[in-house]
Structure 1
Amino acid sequence: MAAYRPGVLIGNWNEEAYLEEDRIRDFMRKKERGELLTQKINKLQDKLLKKIHLSVSKDGFVHFGDTVILLNPPNKSPVENYPGACGSLTLAVDLDEISIYSVESLQVPCGVSAVKSVDPTGRNTFCILSVGGDAVGEPIRFGQNFGLGTTGGLSDQMLYLASDHKSFMRSAKKSYLQQVFLTDERSYLTCWKAVFLDPQLRLEYEGFPVPANSEIIITHCHTNRSLAVPRNFWTRSYFGKEYEVVCHTYLDSHKAEEDKNYWKIVTGDPGDEDGTMIERPNPHPAGIRRNEFHEET
């Protein structure tokens, strides 16, 4: 009788061989369909980091249909206990809301966050949308309603920036202030308006075109609270720290909004196809000749 050797097949070897063949066939089938986990991760990364070209403003104003990034400029005063949170931040889709198992579509409602990256990519670019039938290419004006939609870098379905009154069941995760999120349904909850930075000149500039790359206030029409980045509430992701975005109006002792509420609608650099106007901002809106505004109106 032959002695036992490691090469001798014992037990349910035939069944195990068939199971191994099934696993190989299943692997090859998923690979052909692009359903492997590594393929989904690469697909997600490609969409997140996909370079987006911003619209170029020839007249210095923001227009319906423009592809832009929303930038919260550097804080003028350091955030207490958070010295690294004083630089520029851009509005972006919250990665915590994305599942690598379903990268083709985002689950709604989906959260947003503020990130340190100022390069226009699939996750931090938005399109200016009309809510009143205004034609693409027309400038948006102070006090006029508009929408903000994702550019398609993450999903074939456009999602819209929205907010609603906070409640016991609905509020921001960290600060418990009014939540900002993305939804797939357009309604009055997805309407925003640009407000002139200086409270004393707001009535005077009502109805004038909104300058690109200049500091403004973006206010939610339904709740009348302004888009803000408190900067002292953050989470850690694969891309570093990401800061909570809320709808809350921060007022100083003079009843003027603080820099937590300041935003720039950033457009592309006409001299550089892949560049932005972050490094080449327009003058403050108050510095633009008022005759130009009157000519536009």
Structure 2
Amino acid sequence: MATYSPGVLVGNWSEEARLEEERLREFLHKRERGELLIQKINKLQDNLLKKRQLSVSKDGYVHFGDTVMLLNPGSKSAVDNSSGVCDGLTLAINLDETSLYSAESLQAPHGVSAVKSVNPMSRNTFCILSLDGGAVGEPIRFGQSFGLGTTGGFSDQMFYLASDHKSFLRFAKKSYLQQVFLTDVLSYLTCWQAAFLDPQLRLEYEGFPVPANSTVIITHCHTNRSLAVPRIFWTRSYFGKEYEVICHTYLDSHKAEEDKNYWEIVTGNPSNEDGTMIDRPSPLPEGIERNEFPKET
């Protein structure tokens, strides 16, 4: 029986050595070009988590061209007892592991979710876009169509918040209701409107400027369904647990929208360029919530 020492080359040793050299050259080539998977992940994550500065509203209204956050303040039962701060969720770009490993940049259509972070970054800030010829700097008004675009950081790509009617092939993954997504094409699917919170005063406020940092209803123009966060459907993303965002109008016994449909268009804090109006202490007396007025005695 023949025996071999460790120095003897047997089998396809030449082919294996050539393949190992080829793999090493390919690895070095991809590393130089920034095409390694870990490099793509780090670049995309840095873009998503890049700090953004919100627009400051000098007159108290929301304007075309403003960079804002969309905050779902939740209900009074969602208030943290230890701090007294409402457990708000901000609308953000969803980043599941499938999309993270597939490409360096986001691909349309892409999902959105609601996250607990209230710090402005590329992931959860949006630009108010004019769709009917309104000039940048003009206030948007109740009943006026506008668009919501991402704030960049993705190879100069801009995505637009959109929705469409539910079908057998197109629906939200968890609730099976009307889905909300990001698209790279401006169309009638990307048109939204702000409505006054009180349905009894909604017609009277039609055409008035939309105040910043106050609770409003955001409705999809094409389907006439309101943007909502049910808070009972959640998904697991690269950043952890996040909540599903859908288009569905939740009405109470008085035919008024529930807190699932409440949204605040958050602007920047004029006294702190890195802060938001959420961080600014309320000037109202204790016991009076924002958007509420003292009752006459």
Q: Normalising by the residue count of structure 1, what TM-score does the alignment of the two structures yield?
A: 0.88
Query: Unaligned stretches of 5+ in structure 1?
Result: 80-85, 288-297
Tell me by how many angstroms 1:282 deviates: 8.2
Question: Counterpart of 2:75 in structure 1: which amino acid?
Answer: N
Contact kept, 8 Å, 1:162 with 1:189, in 2: the verdict is yes
Contact kept, 8 Å, 1:122 with 1:154, in 2: the verdict is no
Mapped partners of 2:166, 2:142: distance in 1: 26
Contact kept, 8 Å, 1:90 with 1:117, in 2: the verdict is yes
Match of 2:64 in 1: 64
Match of 1:172 in 2: 172
Mapped partners of 1:169, 1:282: distance in 2: 49
Match of 2:235 in 1: 235
Question: Counterpart of 1:153 in structure 2: which amino acid?
Answer: G
Match of 1:37 in 2: 37
Moved more, 170-179 or 14-23: 14-23
- The answer to whether structure 1 residue 196 and structure 2 residue 192 are counterparts is no
Mapped partners of 1:285, 1:204: distance in 2: 17
Cα-Cα RMSD: 2.1
Match of 1:7 in 2: 7
Identity %: 77
Question: Counterpart of 1:243 in structure 2: which amino acid?
Answer: Y
**1:189-225 deviation digits (Å, cap 9, x = unpaired):** 1100110111121122111111111111001111111
Contact kept, 8 Å, 1:44 with 1:100, in 2: the verdict is no
Match of 2:159 in 1: 159
Match of 1:26 in 2: 26
Mapped partners of 1:147, 1:227: distance in 2: 13
Contact kept, 8 Å, 2:74 with 2:262, in 1: the verdict is no
Question: Counterpart of 1:148 in structure 2: which amino acid?
Answer: L
Spell out the pairing of 1:116-195 with structure 2 (5 A cutoff). Answer: 116-195=116-195
Q: Normalising by the residue count of structure 2, what TM-score does the alignment of the two structures yield?
A: 0.88
**1:95-154 deviation digits (Å, cap 9, x = unpaired):** 1262323122x2221111111111111211111000011111111011111000111134
Match of 2:88 in 1: 88
Q: Aligned residues, how many? A: 279
Secondary structure of the structure 1 residue equivalent to 2:174: coil
Question: Counterpart of 2:122 in structure 1: which amino acid?
Answer: G
Question: Counterpart of 1:270 in structure 2: which amino acid?
Answer: P
**1:15-73 deviation digits (Å, cap 9, x = unpaired):** 32222221111111100110111111111211121111111111111110011110000
Match of 1:277 in 2: 277
Moved more, 3-12 or 67-76: 3-12
Query: Unaligned stretches of 5+ in structure 2?
Result: 80-85, 285-289
Contact kept, 8 Å, 2:54 with 2:67, in 1: the verdict is yes
